[in-house]
Amino acid sequence: MTKTKGVLVVLGIMNVLLVVIHFSEFHVLFIKSSGYIIPIVFNMVVLAVVGFRSLSVRNAWVIVGLFLSLPVLLVHSFIVWITESSYAHIESPHDQQSLVVEYRDFTLGETTYFYSFYKTKFGILGRSLEDQSLSIMSRDFPSGIDAEDVLGLHSAEWVTAETVRLNTWEGMVEIELESFPSMTTSSSPTAEEGDLMTFIKALENEVSGQTITIHGNQLETRYDEASGQSWIEVFDNAGEGAIPTQQCSRIEEDELQGHYMLVECTHQWEYPLQPRG
């Protein structure tokens, strides 16, 4: 195999890999910010050098190829420009994997912030966590608040080796780096799940003052005899989180997600609370 053919084979393999990755749940993280501009330019440069140096390829074909590639590059560059995104890395203290956050905002009267998440181990390839993407619309946020502040990026907490907790301006959100647990039920609940079941029972029995702490959030049952209403008072990070306190109606099991969920909360309809055992 000649050197020219070797270069073309390597280039072809690289392009095939990029196409396969593009249609999978994985992404090449170091080219995410520029889209496919770098690979397109690299292809153009390599093919131009090969074409002008090779006696078996007419220079006219190289020029035609470059002219055809240029509009593709310009159109793709424009798309990348109008959908400009920023990226942040949340390193894990467990030294296993990290979380990459892709975010951008769109303003039309009100500003809406969009967030996508990618699990990565070495920082090169990232697996998209598409079902956990977020959008947060601004509602009288203080001046000077940016997209990272809205997400609570600077106070991100690894509550487990597979779970990142974010105190967003719309309440607590937990990003799960692994799939939700199996739906099979265990023969005996864990100690943590047993405590939660005791808490749920107290709420159902209209017992006021029962408390439990999960991921730094303190939950307390409340009951008002006059109205006959019961609810859960949630204290975020000892009342110092993005939303210090809020009220939720109840806790439900979500079989699809495999989580216990706080439901009908003040600032958001529901929050994942704790995986089912």
Residue by residue, what is the 3-state secondary structure of 191-244? HHHHHHHHHHHHHHCCCCCCEEEECCEEEEEEEECCCCEEEEEEECCCCCCCCC
With cut-offs at 50, 70 and 90, classify the pLDDT of residue 233.
very high
Q: What is the mean pLDDT of the chain?
A: 78
Q: What is residue 189's predicted lDDT score, i.e. its pLDDT?
A: 47
3-class secondary structure, 117: strand
With cut-offs at 50, 70 and 90, classify the pLDDT of residue 121.
confident
Dist CA 74 CA 264 (whole Å): 47
The percentage of the chain sitting over the pLDDT mark of 70, rounded to a whole number, equals: 77
Amino acid identity at 195: D
Q: Which residue has the tokens 């190289």?
A: 62
CB 169 within 8 A of CB 155: no
Residue 187 has pLDDT above 60, yes or no: no
pLDDT, one tens digit per residue, over 136-183 is 887 666 677 888 988 988 888 888 888 888 888 777 788 888 754 333
With cut-offs at 50, 70 and 90, classify the pLDDT of residue 101.
very high
Q: What is residue 193's predicted lDDT score, i.e. its pLDDT?
A: 57
Q: What is residue 223's predicted lDDT score, i.e. its pLDDT?
A: 92
pLDDT, one tens digit per residue, over 239-277 is 666 678 889 999 988 777 677 888 898 877 787 777 765
**What number is the average pLDDT over the span 94-98?**
77
Q: What is residue 80's predicted lDDT score, i.e. its pLDDT?
A: 54
The structure's pTM equals 0.55
**What number is the average pLDDT over the span 205-218?**
86
